[in-house]
A and B are shown apart, each in its own frame.
Chain A
Amino acid sequence: MNSEPSEEPGTPQPPPERGTPVGRRVLLGTIGLGALGVVAAPTLQRVLEGFLGAAADKDPTGLTGLLPNGGGFRYYSVASSVPHKNATNYRLTVDGLVDRPKTYTLDDLRALPQTRLVKDVQCVTGWRVPGTPFEGVRLSRLLDAAGVRSTAGAVRFSCFDGTYSESLTLDQARRSDVLVALRMQDKNIGHDHGGPVRLYVAPMYFYKSAKWLSGITVTEHVKPGYWEDRGYDVDAWVGHSNGRDDEPTS
């Protein structure tokens, strides 16, 4: 009896010694792990944030800050370069639909009553910095000082990077947790964080807190700002906008 498989003419035999397709398995396995990572990301992220946050406290090199979600702020600038301003050349103008347009120097702003808020900062891209102190002048105070006309409905912010802009409705702008901030993390705001003066809109995603604030213009209607022209929500309440459900910050 012939137990060997017979060589039938016409049916091609698999070529000998082709080997196993391990490469394909590695490739598909990598893709599968990636998909699994997306599904498990919320859990993994929570665990890693806890671990890396603790590690960052004891890390003298600062290298943990470079790891994803290692805690801390990330620097985003939309302009190619941003001029540096200080107490001698910084000016903040308040104009538009107001009775008394005014220009403030840094010292003028420092002389006004200061409000300190300690809340989480939440970026729309996911990172969150817990318990960050901001200190500055309530925006409502500057608006009241300028005398907002009855036709006004919104406030527009411009920045000395020459590109960025933001808007709030008048009601949002008058909230007590919206500051023209001079200090952050109990230090004067440095250039990289939008200093010397930035907006701080505590209840909204951090893109509303425009850096390098140079102008406040009272207008009739809200005009979408820089990122909002690119698809972000204008009313950027943390946890209730941009398709996200983060815990509210204020």
Chain B
Amino acid sequence: MSLRAEAHTPPVNEIRRFGPVQRWVHRTTAALMGVCVVTAAFLYIPQFAELVGRRELVVRVHECAGLALPVPVLVGLVSRHFRADLGHLNRFGPHDRVWLRAALRRDKRRSSRPAAKFNAGQKVYAAWIAGASLVMLGTGLIMWFTHLTPLMWRTSATFVHDWLALTIGIVLAGHIGMAIADPEARGGLRTGRVSREWAEREHPLWRP
């Protein structure tokens, strides 16, 4: 532990990528999303449902985690650094178009994947998962408070909630898979720091 801390203290060749706010927002959001996914599996996949039972309790945990899911981001908004990162994620430059085109062609050469602080894939992912989470929240609330909405809405909301859950599961697996494949990117979110060499290789247009 102390060894690793020491390894990351010398700032000579390291640059700061994320502050504590970004790291904690990511961490808590990931934990809440994890609870949502696991409880969803208990509710949805028959084999797991048979294993766990306690449907009411699992539903309650799922509802609470889902309701809390946007909270870390909303709290994070008080931080200027966090808002700045949201700005980076939101704004697409000409280089992002180049990156996306290359991604569609499966062109993995560094030169065809220009990226600033976040690459275009990360930007699209961030925007999509935020929108998808809000759709899940909305449809989830319709399913939860059944008396608030008329007749057919609950069935329709269930339909969207089910299929989007499946989609989110797949996309999330991709997100985690890519993180596993890049230990230094993961380290960036864990410690807040990355090596200058990694930053220049993966995010050549980023000017920290």
Q: Is B156 at the interface (CB under 8 A from chain A)? A: yes
CA distance A28 to B158 in the complex (A): 21
CB <8 Å contact, B89 and A23: yes
The interface residues of chain A lying within 8 Å CB-to-CB of B55 are 76-78
CB <8 Å contact, A22 and B123: yes
Measured CB to CB, the nearest residue on chain A to B91 is: A19
Q: Is A21 at the interface (CB under 8 A from chain B)? A: yes
Q: Is B187 at the interface (CB under 8 A from chain A)? A: no
CB <8 Å contact, B158 and A126: yes
Instruction: Encode contact with A along B135-175: 1 for CB under 8 Å, 0 otherwise.
Output: 10011001000110011111111111011101000000000
CB <8 Å contact, A23 and B159: no
- Which of B13-21, B23-31, B42-50 forms contacts with chain A? B42-50
Q: Is A74 at the interface (CB under 8 A from chain B)? A: yes
- Which of A39-47, A88-96, A146-154 forms contacts with chain B? A39-47
The smallest beta-carbon distance between B167 and chain A, in angstroms, is 10
Most central of A19, A33, A76, A82 by chain B CB within 10 Å: A19
The smallest beta-carbon distance between A41 and chain B, in angstroms, is 3
Out of A66, A69, A81, name the residue touching B159 (CB < 8 Å).
A69
CA distance A44 to B45 in the complex (A): 22
CB <8 Å contact, A38 and B91: no
Out of A19, A77, A126, A243, name the residue touching B50 (CB < 8 Å).
A77
CB <8 Å contact, B56 and A78: yes
CA distance A16 to B51 in the complex (A): 57
Instruction: Encode contact with A along B40-66: 1 for CB under 8 Å, 0 otherwise.
Output: 000001100110111110000000000
Instruction: Encode contact with A along B87-101: 1 for CB under 8 Å, 0 otherwise.
Output: 001111100100000
A-B contact count (CB 8 A): 137
The interface residues of chain B lying within 8 Å CB-to-CB of A24 are 90, 127
Out of B92, B139, B162, name the residue touching A68 (CB < 8 Å).
B162
CB <8 Å contact, A42 and B152: yes
The smallest beta-carbon distance between A225 and chain B, in angstroms, is 14
Q: A30-B128, A41-B159, A245-B152 are in contact. Are A75 and B49 (CB under 8 A)?
A: yes
Q: Is A17 at the interface (CB under 8 A from chain B)? A: yes
Instruction: Encode contact with A along B101-135: 1 for CB under 8 Å, 0 otherwise.
Output: 00000000000000000000001101110111011
CB <8 Å contact, A38 and B139: yes
Q: A23-B127, A76-B55, A126-B155 are in contact. Are A192 and B160 (CB under 8 A)?
A: no
CB <8 Å contact, B92 and A19: yes
The interface residues of chain B lying within 8 Å CB-to-CB of A111 are none
CA distance A26 to B131 in the complex (A): 8
CA distance A18 to B93 in the complex (A): 7
CB <8 Å contact, A22 and B151: no
CB <8 Å contact, A26 and B146: no
Q: Is A27 at the interface (CB under 8 A from chain B)? A: yes
CB <8 Å contact, A34 and B155: no
Most central of A20, A22, A39, A192 by chain B CB within 10 Å: A22
Q: A23-B126, A126-B158 are in contact. Are A34 and B91 (CB under 8 A)?
A: no
The interface residues of chain B lying within 8 Å CB-to-CB of A41 are 155-157, 159-160
The smallest beta-carbon distance between A77 and chain B, in angstroms, is 4
CB <8 Å contact, A42 and B53: no
The interface residues of chain B lying within 8 Å CB-to-CB of A77 are 49-50, 53-55
The interface residues of chain A lying within 8 Å CB-to-CB of B126 are 23
Out of B53, B138, B139, B159, name the residue touching A44 (CB < 8 Å).
B159
Q: Is A55 at the interface (CB under 8 A from chain B)? A: no
The smallest beta-carbon distance between A55 and chain B, in angstroms, is 15
Q: A17-B93, A31-B131 are in contact. Are A75 and B155 (CB under 8 A)?
A: no
Out of B54, B90, B164, B166, name the residue touching A22 (CB < 8 Å).
B90
Given A22-B96, A30-B135, A230-B56, 5 new contacts (CB under 8 A): A23-B92, A27-B128, A30-B131, A37-B164, A231-B147
Closest CB pairs A-B (n = 5): A30-B131, A34-B135, A41-B156, A68-B162, A19-B91
